[in-house]
Structure 1
Amino acid sequence: MQIRDRIKELRRVRASELVPNPWNWRTHPVPQRNAMRGILAEVGFADALLARELPDGRLEIIDGHLRAETTPDALVPVLVLDVDEDEARKILLTHDPLTSLAEFDDEQLHDLIEACQFKNPQLTAMVAQLEAEIEQATQDLAAPTERPEPPIPTAYQVVVECDSETQQQEVYEQMHGQGFRCRVVTL
């Protein structure tokens, strides 16, 4: 399979000059915004925003809306992609969901959490919540699942064994004619 390199260049652009993508479907709740501010304060930019160049020369964000909103006066790293509007929409739709499909190694994650100490309380809270969710998921998977027996309604039935399909049809018609609810079953 031939894979194209769609990155044209890396630019440093004032975040407020970037154009938000009208197709952006992600929303950013307050805890995420706080955690983003925290990691930017503790570490800084460690990833580039993705954008495409519009016909008028402006850059439209594909990925990184929250980073741009959080630091409007900062010069942010932007990977300018050689993609058209349709391709940009495909990236916008799949970029984060593809990342969320990754699985994790419980032990490796626990070791990583233990090795990281944050100054920012929002980051500390985010990691604590992550650890609690993983612990709960692990407990849920380990817990035996008891399924209650479904209630079986009381029903009074008669099974009549017939010698042939013709006899079965005759018995069915006779019983149905007398007002009984009948079903034809062949075993």
Structure 2
Amino acid sequence: MKIRDRVKELRRVRAGDLKPHPKNWRTHSRHQQSVLRGVLKEVGMAGALLARELPDGTLQLVDGHLRAETTPSAVVPVLVLDLSDEEAEKVLLTHDPLASLAGVDASRLGELLGRVETESQAVGEMLAKLAREIEDDPSKADPPDVVIKPCYQVVVEVEGETQQQEIYERMRAEGHRCRVLTL
């Protein structure tokens, strides 16, 4: 599969100069805003916002609306993408949900949770919630090794229910464990 590189350039732009996408469907709770502020304070800006250049030269956000709203006077890294209106809408629609499809390696997550420290109450609450979710939902943990014992079966196709019943009874009489199966 040939994959097109849609990144034209990396620019550093004042966040307040970026235009929000009018079809941005994401909302951001006060808690999420607090968590972002905590991470920005402790770590800084660790990722680029995504934008496309409009015909008038302005940049329209495709991803990173909350970061731009949170730091309007800051100069932020922006990946300028070569996207049409339709492509920008597709990225806007799929970028975050695609990331949410990722699985969880519970042992690695537990290790990170045990090592990382934060001064931010909001970040700490988010990490505690993440730890509780893993503890409360075993399906998020690494699946246990499954041992499947060898099992040998014979499927016999018959002409009808009467013949099925006869073969079933004969096999049971010979000591075989049997089940009747109708497809």
Q: What is the TM-score with the length of structure 1 in the denominator?
A: 0.73
| Residue 38 (structure 1) aligns with | 38
C-alpha separation in 1, matches of 2:133 and 2:110: 12
- Within 5 Å, which residues of 2 pair with 1:1-187? 1-138=1-138
Q: Which amino acid aligns with 1:39?
A: V
C-alpha separation in 2, matches of 1:137 and 1:22: 37
1:136 Cα deviation from its structure 2 partner:
1.1
C-alpha separation in 2, matches of 1:47 and 1:55: 25
1:135 Cα deviation from its structure 2 partner:
1.1
Q: Which amino acid aligns with 1:79?
A: L
1:83 Cα deviation from its structure 2 partner:
0.6
Instruction: Label 1:62 to 1:139 Cα distance change in 2 as closer, same or farther (>3 A).
Output: closer
**Which 4+ runs in 1 deviate beyond 3 A?**
none
1:140 Cα deviation from its structure 2 partner:
9.8
C-alpha separation in 2, matches of 1:140 and 1:49: 30
Size of the aligned set, in residue pairs, is 141
C-alpha separation in 2, matches of 1:101 and 1:49: 21
Contact 2:104 2:140 in 1 (8 A): no
Cα-to-partner distance string for 1:65-89 (whole Å, 9 max, x where unaligned)? 0000000000010000001110000
Cα-to-partner distance string for 1:80-107 (whole Å, 9 max, x where unaligned)? 0001110000000000000000001111
C-alpha separation in 2, matches of 1:18 and 1:110: 37
Range with greater deviation from structure 2 (66-75 or 127-136)? 127-136
SS in 2 for 1:56: coil
Greater Rg over alpha carbons, structure: 1
C-alpha separation in 1, matches of 2:96 and 2:140: 26
Contact 2:18 2:61 in 1 (8 A): yes
1:138 Cα deviation from its structure 2 partner:
1.8
1:134 Cα deviation from its structure 2 partner:
1.6
Structure 1, gaps ≥5 residues long:
142-187
SS in 1 for 2:4: coil
C-alpha separation in 2, matches of 1:59 and 1:103: 33
Q: What is the TM-score with the length of structure 2 in the denominator?
A: 0.75
C-alpha separation in 1, matches of 2:23 and 2:140: 37
C-alpha separation in 2, matches of 1:43 and 1:78: 18
Cα-to-partner distance string for 1:26-52 (whole Å, 9 max, x where unaligned)? 000011000000000000011000000
